[in-house]
Amino acid sequence: MKLVKPSIEHLPAYEVALKRGWSPDNLRPEFAQEQIEEISKDAVSFVSKLDDPGGEAGPLTLPDGSKVKRLPSIKRWIFDDGFCGHIGLRWQPGTEELPVFCSGHIGYGIVAWRRGEGLATSALKAFLPEAKALGLRFVEITTRPDNPASVRVIEKAGGQLIESSAAHTAIGGHDILKFNVPLG
C-alpha cells in the first residue's frame, strides 16, 4: 500500500473508480458525478484543488446544500495494485478545534471491490505522521455506529472513543461515534 499525492498521472485510475460507482463523499451521493464532470472540464485544475493546504479551493458545499469556507486540507490516494481509495486531513491552523460542520480531522474511503484487505488501517497509520507534522497533538475521527469496519480501523490506529452523539444538522444529523487518536 502506498499513499500518493493526487496527480494527473494517477487521475485515470481515480476516474475509473468514480465511474464504477465509488464516491469520496459518503454524505453526498451526487458528489462522484460532480467530480466526473469537473474532471472532463479541466483535469489539471481538478487535481490542483484536491491537495489544498491553504484552504484556497473555494467554498465547500455541505450535504444540506449550504456553503462554507473550506478548511486547509491535504488528500492522498491509496494505491495497492491499482486505485483503492482516498484519505484526507482537514484542520484549522493553530488548534485541534474544528467547526461544527466538520465531522473530524480525517476522512477515508475504500472502493467496494477492495474492502476487507486492511487498506484503510494501513493508510490511516501511514497518514497520521502528516497530521503530527502540522503540529496537531491529536486528531478526531468520526464514524457511524453501524459501521463496525470503520470502528476497527480507528481503534487499530490507536483511536479511543470519546463521544456518541449526533452530527450537526448541516451534515445530516445522523448518529456518530467520535474518536480521539493521539499523535504522541
Phi-psi region of 181 (alpha: psi -120 to 50; beta: other; left: phi over 0): beta
Is the CB of residue 173 less than 8 Å from the CB of residue 167?
yes
Grade residue 65 by pLDDT with cuts at 50, 70 and 90: confident
DSSP string of 79-112?
Answer: ESSSEEEEEEEE-BTTBS---TT---SEEEEE-G
Closest CA to 68 of 76, 81, 57: 57
The radius of gyration computed from the CA coordinates of the chain, to the nearest angstrom, equals: 16
Residue 145 has pLDDT above 80, yes or no: yes
* pLDDT at 85 > cutoff 90: yes
Q: In angstroms, rounded to a whole number, what is the distance separating the alpha carbons of residues 160 and 88?
A: 20
Q: Residue 97 pLDDT > 80, yes or no?
A: yes
Domain of 166: which CATH number? Answer: 3.40.630.30
Number of domains in the chain: 1
What element of type H or E holds 158? none
Please, which residues bridge with residue 139 across strands? 181
Domain of residue 105 covers 2-182
Question: Which residue has 489539471 as its cell numbers?
Answer: 44
Q: Residue 176 belongs to what H/E stretch?
A: strand 175-182
Identify which of 179, 147, 146, 148 has the alpha carbon closest to the alpha carbon of residue 162: 179
Which has the higher per-residue pLDDT, 138 or 101? 138
Contact 178, 171 (CB under 8 A): no
pTM of the model: 0.92
